[in-house]
Amino acid sequence: MSDTYFRIRLSNVNTPQEQEVSTFCFDHKALGLSEVLSFSQPDLTYDPSLISRRILDLDVFFEAKPSEDFFRELKAKFSGITYSTNEEESKDWLEEWKKGFVPFKLVGKTWIVPSWLEKPEEAQHEIKIDPGMAFGTGTHATTKMASYFVHKIATEHADQVKDWTLLDVGTGTAILAMLAEKMGFALITGIEIDPEARRKARENCELNQTQSVDITDQQLDEIRDQYDVVVANIIDGVLIRLQKDLMRATKDGGHLFLTGILQERDNLFFEKFIEAQPVKVIKRIQKDEWVGYWVQKGTQ
């Protein structure tokens, strides 16, 4: 493998030209091509939406710098397009990423340990994970807040938790689901919209030889069971959108952990969710710029 590769940014590409430009680049031995996308998210209640543009920027990747003929023909065929060239270092990105991921204490006596490393001596309990670069490692502040809630409720209700069920909404790598098993929950269900994340979650559960964790293909609006504890480590705007389904999945008197609330949006979240639902705030915590709520659903 070459030590470097070349990225050429093509700007001012008219949408109707995109296919022709792509063909031209691949005819000149391009390794790949990607569009530089633009997104809009006016309010975190909504998912980001792609901005449709007539004028595009394209990144084209080459193993070596193209010849002068490439640039000459490019300007001749597509007179309005401008370009810039960058030589960048080739790396094994997965190996580079792994270097920065080391065992760490998650909560209580439980540590997160990468699957390719041994458990440190001071770790009494471990959750081994092989996260893949796209999904969580457990280091994010919101995951730590959710872990704190799971650990605390299990500790405070040690005589009851063995009969409790837990739903982990947006399970990702299944860290919270596996923690719940270690804390003694009777049955844990993890749900996730991303099929690749579900695959990775199941691999991590197998790696840890879980007995009571089920990563299901069902989505939240398909869940008909009710749970003693529901964990939703999701961005606040999505929590607001899912609030009715989250409440429906929580037993009367059950507990709901809501993390992923940006501090700057805490007041709005409190108004749109906490005050809009029959819940009592048990605990509010903050870590970095994130806020988490432990609430209990009122009985009817």
pLDDT in tens, 210-249: 999 999 999 999 999 999 999 999 999 999 999 999 999 9
Q: Are 284 and 292 in contact (CB under 8 A)?
A: yes
Residues 6+ away with beta carbon under 8 Å from 231: 146, 149, 150, 166, 167, 168, 169, 176, 180, 257
Token reading at 84: 């810039």
Phi, psi of 86 (to 5 degrees): -130, 130
Q: What is the tens place of the pLDDT at every residue in 262-279?
A: 999 999 999 999 999 999
Phi first, then psi: give them for residue 239, nearest 5 degrees.
-60, -40
Q: Which of 90, 105, 120 is the last residue of a domain?
A: 90
- How many of the other CB atoms lie within 10 Å of CB of 35? 13
With a pLDDT cut of 90, the percent of the chain lying above it is: 59
Q: What is the 3 state secondary structure string of the chain?
A: CCCEEEEEEEEEEEHHHHHHHHHHHHHCCCCEEEECCCEECCCCCCCCEECCCCEEEEEEEECCCCCHHHHHHHHHHCCCCEEEEEEEECCCHHHHHHHCCCCEEEECCEEEEECCCCCCCCCCEEEEECCCCCCCCCCCHHHHHHHHHHHHHHHHCCCCHHHCEEEEECCCCCHHHHHHHHCCCCEEEEECCCHHHHHHHHHHHHHCCCCCEEECCCCHHHCCCCEEEEEEECCHHHHHHHHHHHHHHEEEEEEEEEEEEEHHHHHHHHHHHHCCCCEEEEEEEEECCEEEEEEEECCC
In terms of domains, do 107 and 9 share one? no
pTM: 0.72
217 and 71 in a common domain: no
200: pLDDT strictly greater than 80: yes
Query: Same domain for 220 and 293?
Result: yes
Last residue of one domain, picked from the residues 42, 72, 90: 90
> Are residues 21 and 37 located together in one domain of the fold?
yes
For residues 51 and 13, what is the distance between their CA atoms, to the nearest angstrom?
16
Q: What is the CATH number of the domain that holds 157?
A: 3.40.50.150
Same domain, 110 and 151: yes
Tokens of 128: 């081994």
Residue 102's pLDDT band, with cuts at 50, 70 and 90, is confident
Higher local confidence (pLDDT), 97 or 177: 177
Does residue 126 sit in the same domain as residue 29? no
Residue that has been written with the tokens 């906490």 in this structure = 274
Q: Which long-range contacts (CB under 8 A, 24 or more apart) does 241-244 make?
A: 241/45, 242/169, 243/272, 243/273, 243/276, 243/277
pLDDT tens string 124-180: 889 998 765 445 677 788 999 999 999 999 999 999 999 999 999 999 899 999 999
Residue 54 pLDDT > 90: no
Position 188 confidence tier, pLDDT thresholds 50, 70, 90: very high
Domain boundary among 67, 90, 113: 90
Which residues lie below 8 Å from residue 99, measured CB to CB, with a gap of 6+? none
Segments forming the whole domain that contains residue 137: 97-297
Q: Are residues 158 and 15 in the same domain?
A: no
Domain tally, the chain: 2
75: domain CATH number is 3.30.70.120
| Same domain flag for 114 and 71 | no
Query: What is the pLDDT at residue 91?
Result: 65
Q: What is the pLDDT of residues 9-32, one digit of tens each?
A: 999 998 878 889 999 999 998 888
Query: Do 122 and 35 belong to one domain?
Result: no
| CA distance to 19, 70, 161, 262, per residue, from 27 (Å) | 12, 10, 63, 47
The answer on 257 and 173 residing in a single domain is: yes
Strand partners for 62: 6
Co-location of 247 and 107 in the same domain = yes
**181 lies in the same domain as 268:** yes
**Quick one: 61 exposed, middle or buried, by C-beta within 10 A (0-12, 13-18, 19+)?**
middle
